[in-house]
Amino acid sequence: MYRRSLLRIRMRTATVTGLNSVRGDAMLRTLCFALLSTLAAAAAADAPATPQRIAVKAAHWLDVEAGRERGPVVVVIEGDRIKEVREDGQAPADARLIDLGDATLLPGLIDVHTHLTGDPTEIKGDYYEAILKRSAIDAAILAHLYAKRTLDAGFTTVRNVGADDYVDVALRNAIDRGDIPGPRMLVSGPAIGATGGHADDTTGFSPWIEFHTVDGVADGVDAVRHKVRENVKNGADVIKFMASAGVLSMEASVGAPQYTQAEMDAIVDEAHRWGKKVAAHAHGAEAIKMAIRAGVDSVEHCSLIDAEGLKLARQRGTYLDFDVYNDDYILGEYAKKGFPASTIEKEKLVGRLQRENFRRAVQAGEKMAFATDAGVYPHGWNGKQFAKMVEWGMTPMQAIQAATWNAADLLGWRDRVGAIKPGLYADLVAVDGDPLKDVSILERVGFVMKGGEVDKNALR
């Protein structure tokens, strides 16, 4: 292409009337220089920029894959990935150094059960105002605030399991484009559930009241298969369905199954056909076992799981995701916000039992990931669950592994996140102190990096 362009320039120059050879040669040289300069500039603009090298240095770090503390460490980053983990404490001369001093460095934290499109702080003592006077537009306007609070708290990856109108899909896409800050998100779109069940927003209201939302209500094998396909079509990364009744909805039961075994089987089969993992909301013992038999990848809440359910989960390799902090917030705050007395009573029924069953699951060696149900309590408070997990049976390292290496396994993202190792995203957090001695310091994360970019550094 360059040769043909030069030939055309030479031919045109040679035909200019009245030009002597000296003037023609000068003009040719000028035109050639201009052309080559333009081509060089264009090539430089198209060439990928050399990745910036950053070195993050800390006195201590947690090797969550091996389950032990190590140090000192220098994590060398190129672009958005970890290039090298140096334990000699020496930073490369050509890297920009971020020295965190005596801090402890961890992988970016992961919460596998969030709802970033809502927050209880929106409810100012009037439960029905939020339901009857707000729409998906309100959720979309506020969701970016909750995403930023979550990232600032050190959670660089979340799984968002349930949002009407695909607001979570739009939020994920905006974060991925770099339009707004927030954690990496895997999203489900509307949770699939039975008519009158935990996913049905009209439950408990007059049949003359209509809610115009894109929801996941479906009944029967064919209909639930269609809902799975519809969610996948509209951008879902994971499929969420309601295997049982729930606490924060208007059904009388808290744990009764709300789908048949055939319907649960169909949801899981269809989701796996499309390469999507499945999370099942389930409080009741029978619903939990039905969901596990259907082949779900994780059971959420697990409040009333029994010995048979624990055994079945261990045999099938199913993750059990207990949200063991939010009972404190619900019992302390929800009555003030005008929630129905029936909701508070249901929480009293399951809260203590859920924590006792969490302890049994830990003792049984179940696969468990860090799942908070954030959105039931304020976003950014995710770290409060670590202390509860330790209080009810885990070691600090086990709780941290649940929020890193184990959570990455559940998501199918161990090749991207969940540890400090070469090739993974440069998602790092740091705290001032030793979380293995006091896990509650993870409520006060001082340094957050996502993909090689510093979101927060209060340790300087």
Measured between alpha carbons, how far is 215 from 440 in angstroms, rounded to an integer? 37
What pLDDT was estimated at residue 130?
Answer: 73
Cα–Cα nearest to 73, from 36, 112, 37, 99: 99
Whether 405 shows a pLDDT value over 90: the answer reads: yes
Q: What is the DSSP letter of 108?
A: P
| Per-residue tokens: 355 | 């924590």
Q: To which H or E segment does residue 429 belong?
A: strand 428-431
- Model confidence at 13, pLDDT cuts 50, 70, 90, reads very low
What pLDDT was estimated at residue 89?
Answer: 83
Q: Could you count the other beta carbons within 10 Å of the beta carbon of residue 454?
A: 13
Secondary-structure class of domain 109-417 per CATH:
alpha beta
Cβ atoms 243, 288 nearer than 8 A = yes
pLDDT digits (tens, 9 = 90+) for 306-317: 999 999 999 999
Peptide bond preceding 51: is omega within 30 degrees of 0, i.e. cis?
no
Q: What is the mean pLDDT of residues 345-349?
A: 90
Whether 25 shows a pLDDT value over 80: the answer reads: no
Q: Could you count the other beta carbons within 10 Å of the beta carbon of residue 203?
A: 17
What pLDDT was estimated at residue 203?
Answer: 72
Lowest mean pLDDT among 161-175, 196-210, 309-323: 196-210
Whether 204 shows a pLDDT value over 90: the answer reads: no
What pLDDT was estimated at residue 41?
Answer: 54
Lowest mean pLDDT among 222-236, 245-259, 403-417: 245-259
Measured between alpha carbons, how far is 40 from 63 in angstroms, rounded to an integer? 46
Determine what percent of the chain is predicted with pLDDT higher than 70: 87
pLDDT digits (tens, 9 = 90+) for 362-395: 999 999 999 999 999 999 999 999 999 999 999 9
Cβ atoms 408, 419 nearer than 8 A = yes
What pLDDT was estimated at residue 432?
Answer: 96
Cβ atoms 308, 364 nearer than 8 A = no
Cα–Cα nearest to 420, from 400, 404, 431: 404
What pLDDT was estimated at residue 16?
Answer: 38
What pLDDT was estimated at residue 17?
Answer: 42
Measured between alpha carbons, how far is 317 from 305 in angstroms, rounded to an integer? 15
Q: What is the mean pLDDT of residues 136-143?
A: 92
What pLDDT was estimated at residue 34?
Answer: 54
Cβ atoms 159, 150 nearer than 8 A = no
Q: What is the mean pLDDT of residues 159-163?
A: 97
Cβ atoms 372, 382 nearer than 8 A = yes
Q: What is the mean pLDDT of residues 91-96?
A: 94
Q: The tokens 């974060």 sit on which residue?
A: 175
In a 13 Å sphere around the CA of 362, the CA atoms on its Cβ side amount to 23
In 212-305, which ranges are continuous DSSP H helix?
Answer: 221-233, 261-273, 285-294
Cα–Cα nearest to 119, from 163, 177, 154: 163
Give pTM, 2 decimals: 0.88
What pLDDT was estimated at residue 249?
Answer: 78
Burial 401-414 (b: 16+ CB within 10 A, else e): bbbbbbbbebbebb
Give whichever of 37-51, 119-133, 220-234 has the largest mean pLDDT: 220-234
Q: What is the mean pLDDT of residues 69-82?
A: 96
Measured between alpha carbons, how far is 285 from 281 in angstroms, rounded to an integer? 12
Give whichever of 43-47, 195-199, 345-349, 433-437 has the largest mean pLDDT: 433-437
What does the H/E/C string look like for 67-88? CEEECCEEEEEECCEEEEEECC
Whether 33 shows a pLDDT value over 70: the answer reads: no
- Find the largest Cα–Cα distance for the chain: 101
Whether 36 shows a pLDDT value over 80: the answer reads: no
DSSP bridge partners of 321: 300
Cβ atoms 149, 448 nearer than 8 A = no
DSSP bridge partners of 56: 75, 98
What pLDDT was estimated at residue 386?
Answer: 98
What pLDDT was estimated at residue 142?
Answer: 95
What pLDDT was estimated at residue 115?
Answer: 97
The arrangement of secondary structure in 53-106+444-457, i.e. its CATH architecture, is: Roll (2.30)
Cβ atoms 201, 173 nearer than 8 A = no
Whether 44 shows a pLDDT value over 70: the answer reads: no
Domain boundaries, the chain: 2-46, 53-106+444-457, 109-417
Spatial CB neighbours of 162, under 8 Å, sequence gap ≥ 6:
115, 188, 190, 191, 199, 240, 281
pLDDT digits (tens, 9 = 90+) for 276-324: 999 999 999 999 999 999 999 999 999 999 999 999 999 999 999 999 9
What mean pLDDT, rounded, does the chain reach? 89
Whether 417 shows a pLDDT value over 80: the answer reads: yes
Whether 39 shows a pLDDT value over 60: the answer reads: no
Determine the straight-line distance between the first and last CA of the chain, rounded to whole angstroms. 53
Burial 75-103 (b: 16+ CB within 10 A, else e): bbbbbbbbbebeeeeebeeebeebebeeb
What pLDDT was estimated at residue 11?
Answer: 36
